[in-house]
């Protein structure tokens, strides 16, 4: 039995404060520091300190393990003790451990360095904090006069790394001030997952290919770099965090850079690039003007000169560069000039209305002519979502390959959660909703959910109208109001999206209309803080999901819903029909058919056998296998394959285009009259699967 010198106090289970905490209060956010030392006598000492921003509570302990077992097994047993102790402490006090900093002093660090096998138990404890306690784990070398002082220092440090005013455990986004490189996971201090966790979620052929390509990248010392406009908010940033995390575990030199934000430029790139390409506006005020072009080009070139240009060790050392969407694409000619050997991939993530872009004089045509002619045409490969109509005019088919979007099974958006976690995040959502004057989610009623940015393309008015019709149908069937599901509309914001507040306010105004007012008390609308687990918990607890986007490249929230075995009702828009098997994993409805959405909701809610048919299909191994294409390891195989095929270094004559049907430059995928051209684009996966 371990000798306890001082331990956390425990609330009496029947006390009024305990009962209140269990029934109503949101768990108080705390941050833990755990310090471990190893003595010459073979004894492990450890101390833990919790910090809430105001005060420390300390616990210290000596762990005397059996001398008949190895030090590795001693560590494993010690870490079982630590996980149980801090878990019991949090539960008894209704505390929420948001993050943990695990560390040791110089002497113990030297012992671990001399015995590499000791690293695995330390990493395992970190991942257990993530998966078992939903606490983000960090690793750091500590200094102090005592273990208690080291633990307190660790707790204060991890508190500073996070954003305590938000319930949730997303670390602060860290960006290198010299190069604007995104330092993912606090520059690798956060350690949530290991390679073995990715391997467990990936089929063997894909995993073997990933290791093979990673080894080739390391042998050839390839440098892969991603560029986009923002490190947080939106699907691109989510994918990049997960990609860099896995690449680091694989030992691949892969980095990610973002531009210095400029709100005036973001108005241009969102409203005059993104919204125009999607065709969600035909207002002439959003036509790109000369002053817009000049400001955007100047911003891109300033970022290039200040952070990525000659002598910065970024562009001049790159082998493969991926440009995500058009926001910073004006640097492509500068890349060509500085590093002619670098291969450039342009990755298009949005639905580009090629039919409109092929009509001379249209806003889409003029915008694409400007971006393609001066910048994007200088890339080596054009990656698009797998929809023919997304390939805009003048892109040679020999330059096109197809790549769907991906999500990560192990990050906060998708990992498994306990019932206590789900309840905690329901309460967090209700606090956010209350702060915004919106009703919260009832603990004893089901709900339908759409998670999306507040964006003109996401069809939020259709979501509300579909819900109104759904409620009318349930009332006609004689179901009482308190048996009707609620509706949840929520999402994160993004620093490069100025439309969020405008659309949010339009939604609130819509709910005040006479036709929707009777249902407004059951419609929960909230813009949420940056907490991935909050979205994950909301989706996991939902009855089913909606995705009524009018324009959509490839909606990763559909993938995430299906992976949680939630049937999805969606409009037949953009890339969404490629994600849903109509009648098997979800229901596709023609764009704008809110009556059809309501009919589908009513049948799913009132016909249990019909609903269970979708859930059972989503749980099959066949569906699990199909979804792997949309997860991080499979996506990383695609990126590494492209890098090894395109990069000149050590492979001068390789090119992904060599397997593509060669073609002259053509006018585009669509003719001006809307007829579809024949084309020969292939998925990236087809290249490496065919070569295996």
Residue 55 burial class via C-beta count within 10 angstroms: exposed 0-12, middle 13-18, buried 19 and up: exposed
Domain of 152: which CATH number? 3.30.420.40
pLDDT tier at 168, thresholds 50, 70, 90: low
331 and 217 both lie in a single domain? yes
Maximum average pLDDT range among 41-50, 474-483, 670-679: 474-483
Query: Are residue 448 and residue 402 in the same domain, yes or no?
Result: no
494-523: pLDDT as tens digits: 666 677 788 889 999 999 999 999 999 999
**Reported confidence tier of residue 554, pLDDT bands at 50, 70, 90:** confident
8 A C-beta contact, residue 48 and residue 85: yes
- pTM of the full predicted structure? 0.90
The verdict on residue 8 lying in a domain is yes
Residues 623 and 649 occupy one common structural domain: no
Q: Domain check: are 162 and 256 in the same one? A: no
What is the structure's pLDDT at 43? Answer: 74
Model pLDDT for residues 227-286, shown as the tens digit of each residue: 999 998 778 999 999 999 999 999 999 999 999 999 999 999 989 999 898 887 888 888
Do the domain assignments include residue 185? Answer: no
| Residue 412 in domain | no
Among 153, 173, 193, the domain boundary falls at 173
Q: Give the pLDDT confidence score for residue 679 in this predicted structure.
A: 58
C-alpha 94, offset from chain centre = 28
pLDDT at 654 over 90: no
Helices (H), 486-591: 500-511, 532-540, 556-563
332 and 222 together in one domain:
yes
pLDDT in tens, 380-407: 999 998 887 788 888 887 889 999 999 9
Count of domains for the chain: 3
Q: Are residues 220 and 80 in the same domain?
A: no
Both 267 and 229 in one domain: the answer is yes
Q: What is the mean pLDDT of residues 558-586?
A: 94
- Tell me whether residue 183 is in a domain: no
| Alpha-carbon torsion angle 484, 489, 490, 496, nearest 10 | 180
Provide the terminal-to-terminal Cα distance of the chain, rounded to the nearest Å. Answer: 55
Residue 561 confidence (pLDDT) above 80: yes
Report strand pairing: 400-402 vs 320-324.
unpaired
Residue 9 domain boundaries: 3-173
Residues contacting residue 201 through CB under 8 Å, at least 6 positions apart = 409, 410, 628, 631, 633
Per-residue pLDDT at 66:
64
CATH number of 256's domain:
3.40.50.2000
Q: Does residue 338 register a pLDDT over 50?
A: yes
Same domain, yes or no: 607 and 652: no
Q: CB within 8 A of 11, min separation 6: which ones?
A: 17, 18, 21, 92, 93
Mean pLDDT of the chain: 87
Q: What is the pLDDT of residue 117?
A: 77
Once rounded to an integer, what is the mean pLDDT over residues 425-444?
A: 93
Q: Is 692 or 489 the better-scoring residue by pLDDT? A: 489
Higher pLDDT, 428 or 60: 428
pLDDT tens string 20-48: 555 557 888 899 999 988 776 667 788 89
Domain membership flag for residue 229: yes
Q: Is the dihedral of CA 295, 297, 300, 303 positive or negative?
A: negative
With CA atoms as reference, report the closest residue to 486 among 499, 470, 502, 473: 470
More confident residue, 625 or 651: 625
Distances (CA, A) of 460 to 571, 577, 609: 12, 19, 29
User: Is 189 a domain residue?
Assistant: no
Q: Domain check: are 351 and 490 in the same one? A: no
Provide the β-strand partners of residue 253: 223
């Amino acid at each position: 039995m371990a000798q306890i010198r001082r331990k956390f106090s425990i609330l009496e289970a029947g006390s009024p404060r305990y009962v209140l905490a269990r029934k109503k209060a949101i768990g108080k956010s705390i941050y833990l520091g755990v310090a471990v030392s190893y003595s010459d006598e073979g004894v492990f000492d450890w101390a833990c300190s919790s910090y809430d921003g105001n005060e420390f509570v300390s616990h210290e302990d000596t762990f005397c393990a059996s001398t008949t077992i190895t030090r590795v097994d001693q560590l494993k047993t010690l870490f079982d003790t630590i996980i149980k102790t801090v878990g019991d402490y949090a539960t008894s006090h209704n505390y929420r451990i948001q993050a943990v900093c695990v560390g040791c002093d110089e002497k113990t660090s030297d012992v671990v360095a001399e015995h590499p096998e000791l690293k695995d138990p330390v990493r395992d404890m970190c991942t257990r904090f993530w998966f078992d306690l939903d606490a983000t784990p960090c690793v750091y070398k500590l200094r102090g006069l005592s273990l208690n002082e080291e633990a307190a220092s660790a707790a204060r440090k991890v508190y500073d790394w996070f954003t305590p005013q938000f319930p949730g455990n997303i670390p602060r986004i860290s960006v290198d001030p010299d190069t604007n490189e995104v330092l993912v996971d606090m520059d690798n201090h956060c350690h949530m997952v290991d390679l073995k966790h990715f391997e467990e979620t990936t089929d063997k052929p894909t995993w073997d290919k990933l290791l093979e390509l990673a080894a080739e990248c390391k042998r050839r010392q390839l440098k892969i770099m991603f560029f986009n406009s923002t490190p947080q908010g939106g699907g691109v940033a989510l994918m990049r965090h997960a990609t860099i995390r896995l690449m680091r575990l694989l030992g691949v030199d892969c980095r990610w850079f973002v531009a210095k934000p400029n709100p005036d430029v973001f108005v241009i790139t969102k409203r005059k690039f993104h919204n125009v390409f999607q065709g969600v506006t035909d207002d002439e005020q959003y036509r790109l003007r000369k002053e817009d072009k000049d400001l955007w080009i100047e911003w891109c070139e300033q970022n290039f000169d200040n952070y990525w240009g000659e002598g910065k060790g970024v562009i001049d050392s790159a082998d493969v560069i991926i440009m995500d969407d058009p926001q910073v694409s004006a640097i492509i000619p500068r890349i060509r000039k500085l590093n002619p050997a670098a291969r450039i991939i342009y990755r298009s993530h949005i639905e580009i209305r090629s039919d409109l872009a092929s009509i001379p004089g249209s806003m889409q045509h003029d915008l694409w002519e400007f971006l393609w002619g001066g910048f994007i045409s200088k890339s080596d490969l054009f990656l698009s979502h797998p929809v023919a109509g997304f390939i805009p005019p003048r892109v040679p088919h020999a330059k096109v390959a197809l790549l769907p979007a991906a999500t990560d099974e192990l990050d906060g958006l998708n990992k498994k959660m306990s019932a206590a976690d789900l309840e905690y995040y329901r309460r967090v959502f209700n606090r956010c909703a209350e702060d915004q004057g919106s009703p919260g989610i009832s603990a004893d009623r089901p709900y339908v959910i759409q998670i999306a940015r507040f964006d003109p393309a996401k069809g939020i008015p259709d979501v509300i109208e579909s819900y109104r019709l759904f409620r009318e149908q349930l009332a006609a069937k004689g179901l009482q109001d308190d048996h009707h599901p609620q509706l949840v509309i929520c999402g994160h914001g993004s620093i490069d999206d100025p439309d969020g507040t405008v659309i949010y306010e339009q939604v609130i105004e819509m709910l005040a209309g006479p036709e929707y007012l009777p249902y407004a008390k059951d419609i929960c609308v909230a813009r949420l803080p940056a907490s991935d687990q909050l979205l994950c918990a909301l989706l996991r607890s939902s009855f089913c999901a909606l995705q009524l986007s009018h324009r959509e490249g490839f909606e990763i929230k559909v993938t995430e819903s299906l992976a949680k075995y939630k049937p999805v009702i969606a409009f037949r828009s953009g890339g969404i029909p490629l994600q849903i098997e109509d009648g098997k994993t979800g229901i596709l409805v023609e764009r704008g058919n809110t009556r059809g959405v309501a009919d589908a909701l009513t049948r799913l809610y009132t016909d249990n056998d019909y609903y269970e048919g979708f859930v059972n299909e989503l749980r099959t191994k066949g569906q699990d296998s199909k979804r792997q294409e949309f997860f991080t390891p499979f996506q990383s195989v695609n990126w590494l394959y492209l890098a090894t095929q395109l990069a000149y270094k050590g492979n001068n004559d390789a090119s992904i285009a060599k397997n593509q049907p060669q073609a002259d430059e053509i006018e585009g995928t669509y003719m001006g009259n809307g007829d579809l051209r024949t084309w020969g684009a292939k998925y990236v996966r087809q290249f490496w699967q065919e070569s295996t």
